Amino acid sequence: MKIVVVPVAVYDPFFKQVRQGVEAAREAIGAGNAEVEWLDVQDADPKHQIEILAELRSRRVSAIVVCPVDPGLLREPIRACVDAGIPAATFCLDAPDSGRFYHIGQDLRQGGRLVGIISHVEALKEQIDARLEVTPGPRGSRVRFVVP
C-alpha cells in the first residue's frame, strides 16, 4: 500500500508541521503496513498539482492526500483519481465536489468571519484582549495570534 501526500509550498511553516505529523503517523503504522510518500512541492501552482495527480493516477498509488491549492481547478483531477479507484482525501483546503472521501481542516470562511467581527466591532475590541499580527515576508505573510 502506498499513500502519497501532496502539500503546497513545503517551505511554509504550516506544511513543515504537517510533514512532522505525517512522519509520526508513518512510524506509528509501521513500515510493513504502508508506505507513505511526502512530495516536496515547492510551489503553489494548481497546474503543477494537476500534473502531479495525473502522474500519481498513472502510477496507481493506493491513496492520495492533497491540499488543493485551487479547489475549483483541482476538483476534476481529484475526481479522476477517485474514478480510477484511488481514494482521495483533502487537507487544509477542501474540494467537496471532487469525490474525496474525507477532509481534514478548519472552516476558513467561519474563521475569517470571526476575525472580521473581532476586528471591526468596537465593543468586542474592548472585551477581547487579543490581536492578530500579520507580518509580510518574501514567501507570503505570517500570521500570529497574540493573547497577552
| Mean pLDDT of each 10-residue bin along the chain, 148 residues long | 87 85 82 81 91 96 94 96 96 92 78 61 61 72 71
Beta carbons of 86 and 64 less than 8 angstroms apart: yes
Longest CA pairwise span in the chain (Å)? 57
Distance from C-alpha of 125 to C-alpha of 129, rounded to nearest angstrom: 7
Q: Does 2-104 carry CATH code 3.40.50.2300?
A: yes
Q: φ and ψ at 130, to 5 degrees?
A: -150, 160
Give residue 136's pLDDT.
76
Give residue 17's pLDDT.
87
Could you give the 3-state DSSP secondary structure of residue 50? helix
Beta carbons of 92 and 67 less than 8 angstroms apart: yes
Output the nine-digit C-alpha cell for 43. Answer: 510551489
Give residue 83's pLDDT.
97
Q: Where in the chain is the domain with CATH 3.40.50.2300?
A: 2-104
Give residue 107's pLDDT.
66
Distance from C-alpha of 31 to C-alpha of 69, rounded to nearest angstrom: 29
